[in-house]
Amino acid sequence: MIKVLKSNRTYELLFIIIVLFSFLLWVGGIFLEGQNGNQYNLFFRRTEDFLADFLNPIGYSSQRDPYNNTMYTGTYAKQQPPLQYLLSYPFVRIITMGSYWAANDFRPMYYVSTFSIVLLLLLLLLYSFGFFLIMSAKKGVNIVRGGTAFAILFSAPMIFTIERCNSVILVPFLCLAFLFFRNSKNALLRELSILSLAIATGLKLIPAILGIILLYEKKWKMAIRAIIYGVMAVFLPFLFFKGGLGNISLMLRNMKDYMELFTYNEIGVSIRDLLMWISSVFGYKIPHVFGIVLVAFTTIGFLAGSFFAKKEWMRYLFLCLPLLSVPGHQGLYCIIYLIPVVITFLNELHHDISDVIFILGIIIAFSPYQFAFLRQFSTFEIGMIFIYIFAIYQFLRILTKVIRNGSKFAFISISE
C-alpha cells in the first residue's frame, strides 16, 4: 500500500480520472437536472455577473479614463493594472458603446453576436495554447500528458474563470511558459519565457514574485531583463490613457478602496479569506490586523521555504501560494495560479506519503461537480485548506532541518 502511495502513476491516475469523471458528472447533471438543478447553478454563484470581469473593463476603458470612471460601480472596481484595460479597449471598436453608457451597465454586451464570436475564438485559441504548454511541460506517455491537459483545462477553476472571463485565465499559462522554458537551450524560448512573466506581471502585478527564482539560480542577466520587461508591461500602458502616468496614484487609491471593501470577505481562497470564512462558521469575528499578520508571516515563510526546497514542484508551490494570499482577497477561480504546481507535482517520479494531502486538496479544488450540501461554502475553499495545511507542514519540516543543520545548511530535499 505504501509503495502505491509513493508511485507517481497513482497520483497521475487519481487526478486525471477523478477530475475528468467529475466534469462528466457535472455536464450530465446540467442536462438531467435542468435549470433548477445544482449543476446548472454554476458553482452556486448563479452567473449573475456572467462575463462581468471582461465586459466591465471594456466599458471602463471605452473613454480611455478607467481610473476616474464611476459608471456601473464606484472607482473601487477600477483597480486593475492598465495592461488589462489596454487589452480590453480593442473590443470597443466592435461594440456601439452609447447605449451601454446610457444604461450604466456593460454586462449585456455579450448579446452582440460579433462580440460573442470573437470571444469564443479567443477562448479556443487560449485553450489550444494551454493544451500545447501543458503537453510540453508534462512528462510521460502521450495519453497521460493529454489526460492531464484535459483534466486541467476542464477543471472547476478553469470553468469558473471562463464564466467570470477574468484576465487571470491568461496568467497561469504565462507563468507556466516562464517556469518551464526559462532553462531552454533555445535562446528565443528563454527570452519569450521572461517576456511571458512580464506580461503576467502587467496583468496582475503579483506574479512578479516568481522572478525570485532567477535570483535563486543566479541568472543575473535574465533577472535584469525580466525587471526591465516587467516595468515596461506595468507602466507603459498608462500612457495610452488620459492622464498618463498620473493614473498610478489613482490606481493605488482604487486598490486601497477595493481591499477595504473585502476586509471581512468570507468567500475566497487567500489565507485571509479562509480565516474569515472559518471564523464565520464559529460565529467569531477575527480582528482584521490578525489576518494581515498571518498573511505576512506565511508569505515570508513560503518564500523562505522556496529557497531551501530542493524538489522543483515544492519550490513552485511555495512561490505560487503567495500569488493567492498577498493580495488579501482572491476569487475562488484564482486557484488556477496553481496549475504550474500541479503539472510539476505530477512530473515527480517518487512521492512522500504526506503528498496524499496535497493531491487530495488539488482533486477537491479542481473537480467541477457541485454537491448540494456544500451551498454554504465550496470545494474550492475546502481544497485550499488541505493545500495550505500541507504547505505549512512542509515549511515547518524545512525550518526544523534548517535549525538542526545551522550554517552548514544549503539547498535540501524535504524528503530526506
In a domain, 333, yes or no: yes
Q: What percentage of the chain has pLDDT greater than the value 90?
A: 63
Q: What is the mean pLDDT of the chain?
A: 89
Q: What length does the chain have?
A: 416
pLDDT value of position 415: 42
Q: Is the pLDDT of residue 414 over 60?
A: no
Q: What percentage of the chain has pLDDT greater than the value 70?
A: 94
Closest CA to 366 of 80, 129, 205, 172: 172
Dump pLDDT digits (tens) for 377-394: 678 989 999 999 999 999
In a domain, 373, yes or no: yes
pLDDT band at 21 (very low <50, low <70, confident <90, very high): very high
Neighbours of 241 (CB within 10 A): 22
Q: Is the CA virtual torsion 247, 253, 256, 257 positive or negative?
A: negative
In a domain, 135, yes or no: no
pLDDT value of position 377: 66
SS3 at position 94: helix
Q: What is d(CA 147, CA 135) in angstroms, rounded to the nearest whole number?
A: 9
3-state secondary structure 332-351: HHHHHHHHHHHHHHHHCCEC
In a domain, 343, yes or no: yes
In a domain, 150, yes or no: no
pTM for this predicted structure: 0.92
Q: Could you tell me which residues come within 8 angstroms of residue 116 by beta carbon, excluding any fewer than 6 positions away?
A: 110
Range of the domain at 405: 1-40+262-416
Dump pLDDT digits (tens) for 1-12: 666 667 788 899
- How many domains are there within the chain? 1
In a domain, 128, yes or no: no
Dump pLDDT digits (tens) for 403-412: 887 645 444 4
In a domain, 400, yes or no: yes
pLDDT value of position 386: 95
CA 168 vs. chain centroid, Å, equals: 6
Dump pLDDT digits (tens) for 134-178: 999 999 999 999 999 999 999 999 999 999 999 999 999 999 999
Q: Is the pLDDT of residue 56 over 70?
A: yes
In a domain, 368, yes or no: yes
Q: Which residues of 194-231 are buried (b: 16+ CB within 10 A; e: fewer)?
A: bbbbbbbbbbbbbbbbbbebbeeeebeebbebbbebbe
